[in-house]
Amino acid sequence: MSATNPVEAAAAADKPKKAASVSALNPLDLFDVRSMLSEEETMVQDTVARFVDDQVLPVIRESFEQHRFPKELIPGIAELGLLGSSLHGYDCAGLNSVSYGLICQELERGDSGLRSFVSVQSSLCMYPIYTFGSDEQKERWLPPMARGEAIGCFGLTEPHGGSDPGNMKTHAKRDGSDWILNGSKMWITNGTIADVAVVWARTDEGVKGFLLEKGMKGFDAPEIENKMSLRASVTSALFFDNVRVPEANVLPGVSSLRGPLSCLNQARYGICWGPIGAAQACLAEMLEYTETRELFGRPLSHTQLIQSRLAEMARQITMAQLLALRLGRLKDEGRVDPAQVSLAKWNNVRMALDIARDARDMLGGSGISAEYVPIRHMLNLESVITYEGTESVHQLVVGKELTGQSAF
């Protein structure tokens, strides 16, 4: 930290020296949701939490400021078995859905960008290869992806409107035993660093998934610059100009929009958990800050309005934790419905975004500095509330479930 930067210097002076809870309860888990976890789930959470504390938090602020994905963390993430953690075989950990949720929660306590990396690699690239791929495709891609040696991305969104993937323009035509692919994708996480891209395209035989490999002629994946959100994550455009794709690179198990949408269920599920971590990070910092920040002769935490706002944060986090755990148990029982995932994604991302914005305000001027975590989480969550289905899309999914009428 530069001693000559007045914002950082002021922020450093404001920083309290110790954590500050007099509560007998855990302020970040008021209903002791942790006691409802199995021994294995608790161990997974603790392991990822340690990784985030030791490896992520020391570097993440600088990565965000430099608009740089901390690629150097990938080997550590892979070593812990966090890539494709719910898959069985192929060097994957075979953990249950609640464990995957806890992984997302702890990673997003560090930064949404890191959770995004793991979500896309696991749920949007490894999952479709695992579910719809041939034996050769699985053998070729899944083990190196689990080891973090190969990176994947998922191309569904197109520049003219991501909420309506049924209107996709990217298309592929058979040419002998190959396919010729044309079109473009936008806002693709990991795109520029991906060794393999799962690209969805319209064909005469329905919507198909193509495995595009880095370096294929006519395939380009430039990074999108100047993002004010998810700055510690790579986001790219994908361009396909007559890319020749062999049949061996087509996912054999899918030929409709149902395929890519079922992958979204997996990633959206993880996003139901991730933002809880971001919200906990904000509340933790606010509990410290408001205890030591003195205004009008007393600590902020002694005022009614601030206590009301802290209590509201704890209330929202508690409800989100219970919702996520119930969703995870349903998923592990094999009876989760996409509308339930939509409701939880909508609720839990909205919860975290509201908390991050309120925490930013409670910090006053210091709240605009990345010295404190809320503004980074707040800016990240603006992406999280948009991707994997906007808030409105999820409200309409729930509306359709309630009324039986599609209002899209």
Q: Which token pair is 49?
A: 């939490």
Q: Which does 211 bind (CB under 5 to 8 A by kind): ligand FAD, ligand TGC, none?
A: none
Q: Which does 161 bind (CB under 5 to 8 A by kind): ligand TGC, ligand FAD, none?
A: ligand FAD
Residue 349 touching ligand TGC (CB under 6 A): no
Give the position of tokens 């210097």: 9
Considering just the CA atoms, what is the radius of gyration of the chain in Å? 22
Residue 168 touching ligand FAD (CB under 6 A): no
- The active-site residue out of 108, 288, 371, 388 is 388
Residue 275 touching ligand FAD (CB under 6 A): no
Specify whether the CB–CB gap between 396 and 408 falls below 8 A: yes
Q: In a 10 Å sphere around its CB, with 0-12 CB exposed, 13-18 middle and 19+ buried, how is residue 22 labelled?
A: exposed
d(CA 397, CA 185): 24
Residue 230 touching ligand FAD (CB under 6 A): yes
Question: Stretches 78-86, 155-163, 317-325, 329-337: which one binds ligand FAD (CB under 6 A)?
Answer: 155-163
Catalytic: 401?
no
Q: Which does 76 bind (CB under 5 to 8 A by kind): ligand TGC, ligand FAD, none?
A: none
Q: Can you name the residues that pair with 217 across neighbouring β-strands?
A: none
Residue 270 touching ligand FAD (CB under 6 A): no
Say which residues have a Cβ less than 8 Å from residue 288's Cβ, sequence separation at least 6: 15, 16, 18, 19, 20
Residue 389 touching ligand TGC (CB under 6 A): yes
Least CB distance to ligand TGC at residue 187 (A):
7
Q: Which does 265 bind (CB under 5 to 8 A by kind): ligand FAD, ligand TGC, none?
A: ligand TGC
Residue 408 touching ligand TGC (CB under 6 A): yes
Least CB distance to ligand TGC at residue 272 (A):
12
Q: Which of residues 156, 193, 276, 314 is near ligand FAD by CB under 6 A?
A: 156
Which segments within 263-384 are labelled E, that is strand? 294-295, 298-299
Residue 398 touching ligand TGC (CB under 6 A): no
Residue 327 touching ligand FAD (CB under 6 A): no
Q: Which does 155 bind (CB under 5 to 8 A by kind): ligand FAD, ligand TGC, none?
A: ligand FAD
For the chain, what is the largest distance between any 2 Cα atoms, rounded to a whole number of angstroms?
80
Instruction: Return the half-sphere exposure (C-beta side, CA atoms, 13 A cut-off) of residue 65.
Output: 11
226-229, long-range: CB < 8 A, 24+ apart: 227/67, 228/379, 229/379, 229/380, 229/382, 229/383
SS3 of residue 308 by DSSP:
helix
Specify whether the CB–CB gap between 165 and 156 falls below 8 A: yes
Measured CA distances, 67 to 49, 164, 224, 231, 289 (Å): 24, 29, 11, 4, 27
Least CB distance to ligand FAD at residue 11 (A):
27
Residue 69 touching ligand FAD (CB under 6 A): no
CB-based burial, 218-243: b 16+ in 10 Å, e otherwise = ebebeeeeebebbbbbbbbbbbbeeb
Q: State the binding string over 111-150 for ligand TGC (x if CB under 6 A, else -).
A: -----x--xx------------------------------
Which of 163/303 has CB closer to ligand TGC? 163
Residue 388 touching ligand TGC (CB under 6 A): yes
Residue 408 touching ligand FAD (CB under 6 A): yes
Residues 169-228 that bind ligand FAD (CB under 6 A): 187-189
Residues that bind ligand TGC (CB under 6 A): 116, 119-120, 154, 156-157, 162-163, 165-166, 189, 256-258, 261-262, 264-265, 267, 338, 387-389, 393, 397, 406, 408
